[in-house]
């Protein structure tokens, strides 16, 4: 992140200073740092109030690009030792504080967080220590099984990873440009300006394209962000060129004041106006980026109406000086505090986070950042690298030990789960809700799968195809992918169609197919509900791919020879231009269009009513159970709020064909009024929406009975 400082200099001092002189600090840049970190902190604490506060990171990127490039142009790297010296300074400046925070975060997570968070946190801490976390998060963002995972206390290190990768490659680029200028006898600054401009244009173009094509990935990957740091670098090169041209008059103070205010307004406006649905970074990132560049370019004008005096006040300067440590500490506190306070963050909790963050940041700056920043005179060049390797190895080792503990627990949980499933019993899982079962609720005790195990217990854990991309339509490419399950030699062909709320039934469907001699062909797509109604996605490519998949899948099934079609969906994307009130009718009309196309060839269709959504009131069930082992009833919710009004059922009634019927198994998931998080000693949900594979297996007798009756009725 951009709290890492190369001491800023005023524009007129960017060129090589005379011997013995020291550059003056730029209070406007420190003030800009303070604004940036304040935006990020307020956004993470009050995301509904400052919806675009994430642009603070983009402001940091510009500052970092400007300061690092200013330093590199003042002392261009001409030899490998110059590069090694530059990177050693980065190591001393950045790694002591970041590795300290990661180590404390690893220990704190193990002590206060539920075990459901240990796995992802350890993996991300390991990636953060190696400064590749942004790429892990980019992969997770497009992995449907990981996209809904809870945030970890190390997740904010993605921006640090981007910057470290920038620091690794940028000086090499500048060194190469200076070498090219020398070999071709061209003016070095002109070559540097042109080279940096080409990189900025290429990165911005790629960022705009990828934000439209794959916004989840675009947010994290380095190539879409380099242009933001590069804008700061270009500004440094321009100012360096201006500083070497003594005959050029400086802009009037009034103009510079207006430019400064314009930049601050641009940053503030984007922080207020942008939301989580803003396509970002893309073109939208240009507003805070150019705003930050404008503030830096104005060079801290003073006088009437100028904001420089306010930015130079002591509290603002302190926050700017400590901004790196503030950024490091605030997010672990935001994520871990609810585990200490016992619930969601209130005003008192958030105020405590602000105070503790500032205290820890001040201590870290005083006792960690400052002592390591300068290094001792005469220290061998290899020592910072050795210290970095040792520190990174220690943090990676801590994360690896945590992963080993998780693995050991998983093996024990697997053995207990296997024994519980074999033992079964009249009150195991869904059977406990049967009206004649006389099973007593168990508000505490050991459950299967364990809460940590339940997070990965979705779809059908015995068939890894379902958790890979091989059986799923691509998010953006208009393709239909199918997979085969059940009995390959069966004489009954079954199509299973829908999104993840259809895939969650596969454990029961596969078992039924093996017993009954059925062949299953799956048609799955992420998020996309098989309704002819256009659905609103993050970008046009995904919306178009969904519509193509709906049309092509509907036609393939209508033209196939299926004896039974099983359809189920979660409606997670609203129709384009529809309100929440009108969306149900719109989806019902779209389902009716699909069903009538299947009606013409006389297909037998079972529409599985969508299952309850705990996310309507409480969030992820496994985490709730891990936090409340003494009272599982806390992790229950009202059936009236959890159970969706499925528009597929409405469409089936409208079609009015006895071969097309609705099956609702929610009485075997919920009681008359409450939907429990645990039924018959089995955790019902793997997250805030999907059933666990273990619970689906206990639902198999009820599912099988309904499907067999549908097939017999059709015959």
What confidence score (pLDDT) does residue 22 get? 41
379: in domain: yes
Q: What is the pTM of this model?
A: 0.88
Do 467 and 395 fall into the same domain?
A: no
| Position 705 pLDDT exceeds 70 | yes
Do 100 and 214 fall into the same domain?
A: yes
pLDDT-derived band at 611 (thresholds 50, 70, 90) equals very high
pLDDT-derived band at 15 (thresholds 50, 70, 90) equals very low
Do 481 and 360 fall into the same domain?
A: no
What confidence score (pLDDT) does residue 87 get? 95
- Concatenate the DSSP letters of all residues of 297-315 into one string: HHT---STT-THHHHTSHH
pLDDT-derived band at 39 (thresholds 50, 70, 90) equals very high
**Last residue in a domain, options 401, 425, 444:** 401
More confident residue, 447 or 577: 447
| Position 57 pLDDT exceeds 80 | yes
674-675/637-638 β-pairing = antiparallel
Do 69 and 184 fall into the same domain?
A: yes
Maximum Cα interatomic distance, the chain, rounded to a whole number of Å = 95
- Each residue of 550-562: pLDDT tens digit? 999 999 999 988 9
Do 189 and 279 fall into the same domain?
A: yes
- Concatenate the DSSP letters of all residues of 612-648 into one string: P-GGGTT--HHHHHHH-TT-GGGG-EEHHHHS---HH
Do 134 and 45 fall into the same domain?
A: yes
437: in domain: no
Residues 6+ apart with CB under 8 A from 440: none
More confident residue, 642 or 618: 642
- Each residue of 17-28: pLDDT tens digit? 333 334 566 899
Please state the rounded mean pLDDT for residues 700-704.
95
pLDDT-derived band at 341 (thresholds 50, 70, 90) equals confident
What confidence score (pLDDT) does residue 468 get? 67
Please state the rounded mean pLDDT for residues 5-23.
34
Q: How many domains does the chain have?
A: 2
Please state the rounded mean pLDDT for residues 528-543.
85
- Each residue of 180-236: pLDDT tens digit? 999 998 999 999 999 999 999 999 999 999 998 888 899 999 999 999 999 999 999
625: in domain: no
- Each residue of 260-288: pLDDT tens digit? 999 999 999 999 999 988 999 999 999 99
pLDDT-derived band at 13 (thresholds 50, 70, 90) equals very low
What confidence score (pLDDT) does residue 581 get? 65
Distance between CA atoms of residues 428 and 472, nearest Å: 32
| Position 399 pLDDT exceeds 60 | yes
| Position 146 pLDDT exceeds 60 | no
Please state the rounded mean pLDDT for residues 510-527.
92
Do 473 and 357 fall into the same domain?
A: no
| Position 461 pLDDT exceeds 60 | no
Do 465 and 375 fall into the same domain?
A: no
What confidence score (pLDDT) does residue 11 get? 31
**Last residue in a domain, options 367, 401, 435:** 401
CA-CA distances (angstroms) from residue 3 to 56, 135, 585? Answer: 11, 21, 51
Do 104 and 188 fall into the same domain?
A: yes
Contact 378, 342 (CB under 8 A): no
* CA distance from start to end of the chain: 65
Do 370 and 464 fall into the same domain?
A: no
Tell me the three state secondary structure of residue 567: strand
Name the token pair of 498: 């829908």
Q: Is the peptide bond before 281 cis (omega within 30 degrees of 0)?
A: yes
| Position 484 pLDDT exceeds 50 | yes
- Each residue of 81-138: pLDDT tens digit? 999 999 999 999 999 999 999 999 999 999 999 999 999 999 999 999 999 999 999 9
pLDDT-derived band at 319 (thresholds 50, 70, 90) equals very high
CB-count burial class (<10 Å; 0-12, 13-18, 19+) for 385? middle
| Position 143 pLDDT exceeds 70 | no
What confidence score (pLDDT) does residue 579 get? 66
| Position 51 pLDDT exceeds 80 | yes
What confidence score (pLDDT) does residue 7 get? 31
| Position 147 pLDDT exceeds 80 | no
4: in domain: no
Task: Give the percent of the chain with pLDDT over 70.
Answer: 92
Give whichever of 137-141, 518-522, 538-542 has the largest mean pLDDT: 518-522
Contact 60, 159 (CB under 8 A): yes
Q: Which domain holds residue 78?
A: 11-401
Name the token pair of 3: 């709290």
Distance between CA atoms of residues 649 and 1, nearest Å: 50
556: in domain: yes
Average pLDDT, the chain: 89
| Position 244 pLDDT exceeds 60 | no
Contact 99, 264 (CB under 8 A): no
- Concatenate the DSSP letters of all residues of 395-437 into one string: HHHHHHHHHHHHHHHHHHHHHHHHHHHHH--TTSGGGGGSTT-
71: in domain: yes
Residue-wise over 36-70: b if at least 16 C-beta within 10 A, else e? bbbbbbbbbbeeeebbbbbbbbbbbbbbbbbbbbb
| Position 300 pLDDT exceeds 80 | yes
More confident residue, 142 or 446: 446
pLDDT-derived band at 458 (thresholds 50, 70, 90) equals confident
**Last residue in a domain, options 378, 401, 424:** 401
What confidence score (pLDDT) does residue 20 get? 33
| Position 54 pLDDT exceeds 90 | yes
Contact 233, 196 (CB under 8 A): yes
Do 481 and 579 fall into the same domain?
A: yes
Please state the rounded mean pLDDT for residues 153-180.
96
Question: Can you give the CATH number for the domain in which 505 is found?
Answer: 3.40.50.1110
Name the token pair of 179: 């070498």
| Position 385 pLDDT exceeds 70 | yes
534: in domain: yes
Distance between CA atoms of residues 467 and 130, nearest Å: 27
Do 132 and 216 fall into the same domain?
A: yes
Q: Return the H-helix or E-strand segment holding 74.
A: helix 55-74
264: in domain: yes
Please state the rounded mean pLDDT for residues 291-311.
91
């Amino acid at each position: 992140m951009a709290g890492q400082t190369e001491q800023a200099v005023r524009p007129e001092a960017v060129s090589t200073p005379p011997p013995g002189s020291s550059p003056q600090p730029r209070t406007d840049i420190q003030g800009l740092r303070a604004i940036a970190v304040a935006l990020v902190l307020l956004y993470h604490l009050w995301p509904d109030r400052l919806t675009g506060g994430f642009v603070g990171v983009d402001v940091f990127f510009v500052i970092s690009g400007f300061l690092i490039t200013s330093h590199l142009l003042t002392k261009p790297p001409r030899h490998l030792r110059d590069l090694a010296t530059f990177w050693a300074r980065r190591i001393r400046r950045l790694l002591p504080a970041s590795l300290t925070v990661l180590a404390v975060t690893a220990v704190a997570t193990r002590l206060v967080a539920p075990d459901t968070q240990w796995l992802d946190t350890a993996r991300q801490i390991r990636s953060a220590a190696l400064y590749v976390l942004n790429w892990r998060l980019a992969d997770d963002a497009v992995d449907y099984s990981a996209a809904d995972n809870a945030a970890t206390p190390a997740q904010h290190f993605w921006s640090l990873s981007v910057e470290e990768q920038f620091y690794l490659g940028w000086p090499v680029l500048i060194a190469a440009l200076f070498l090219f200028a020398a070999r071709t006898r061209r003016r070095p600054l002109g070559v540097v300006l042109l080279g940096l401009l080409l990189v900025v244009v290429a990165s911005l173009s790629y960022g705009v394209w990828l934000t439209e094509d794959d916004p989840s990935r675009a947010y994290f990957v380095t190539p879409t962000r380099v242009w933001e740091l590069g804008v700061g670098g270009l500004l440094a090169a321009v100012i360096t060129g201006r500083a070497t041209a003594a005959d050029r008059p400086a802009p009037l103070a009034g103009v510079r004041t207006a430019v400064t205010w314009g930049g601050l307004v641009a940053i503030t406006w984007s922080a207020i106006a942008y939301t989580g649905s803003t396509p970002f970074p893309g073109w939208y990132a240009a507003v805070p980026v150019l705003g930050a560049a404008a503030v830096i370019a104005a060079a801290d004008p003073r006088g009437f109406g100028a904001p420089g005096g306010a930015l130079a006040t002591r509290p603002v300067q302190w926050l700017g000086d400590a901004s790196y440590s503030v950024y490091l500490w605030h997010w672990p506190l935001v994520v871990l505090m609810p585990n200490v306070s016992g619930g969601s963050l209130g005003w008192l909790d958030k105020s405590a986070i602000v105070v503790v963050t500032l205290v820890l940041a001040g201590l870290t700056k005083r006792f960690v950042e400052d002592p390591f920043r300068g290094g001792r005179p005469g220290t061998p060049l290899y020592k910072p690298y050795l210290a970095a390797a040792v520190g990174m190895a220690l943090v990676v080792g801590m994360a690896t030990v945590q992963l080993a503990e998780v693995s050991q627990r998983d093996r024990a949980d697997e053995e207990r789960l296997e024994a519980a499933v074999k033992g079964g019993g009249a009150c195991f899982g869904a059977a406990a809700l049967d009206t004649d079962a006389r099973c007593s609720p168990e508000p505490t005790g050991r459950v299967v799968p364990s809460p940590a195990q339940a997070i990965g217990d979705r779809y059908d854990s015995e068939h890894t195809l379902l958790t890979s991309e091989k059986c799923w339509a691509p998010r953006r490419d208009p393709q239909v992918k199918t997979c085969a399950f059940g009995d390959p030699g069966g004489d009954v062909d079954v199509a299973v169609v829908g999104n993840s709320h259809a895939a969650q039934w596969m454990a029961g469907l596969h078992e039924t197919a093996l017993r009954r001699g059925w062949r299953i062909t799956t048609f799955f797509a992420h998020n996309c509900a098989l309704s002819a109604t256009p659905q609103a996605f993050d970008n046009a490519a995904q919306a178009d791919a969904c519509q193509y998949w709906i049309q092509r899948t509907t036609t393939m099934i209508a033209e196939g020879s299926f004896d039974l079609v099983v359809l189920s969906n979660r409606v997670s994307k609203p129709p384009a231009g529809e309100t929440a009130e009108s969306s149900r009718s719109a989806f019902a009309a779209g389902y009716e269009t699909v069903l009538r196309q299947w009606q013409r060839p006389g297909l037998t269709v079972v529409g599985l009513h969508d299952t309850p959504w705990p996310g309507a009131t409480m969030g992820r069930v496994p985490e709730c159970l891990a936090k409340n082992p003494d009272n599982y009833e806390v992790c229950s919710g009202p059936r009236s709020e959890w159970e969706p009004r499925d528009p597929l059922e409405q469409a089936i009634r409208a079609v009015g064909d006895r071969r097309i019927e609705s099956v609702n198994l929610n009485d075997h998931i919920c009681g008359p009024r409450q939907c429990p998080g645990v039924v018959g000693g089995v955790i019902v949900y793997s997250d805030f929406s999907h059933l666990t594979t273990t619970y689906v297996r206990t639902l198999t007798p009820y599912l099988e009975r309904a499907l067999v009756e549908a097939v017999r009725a059709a015959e």
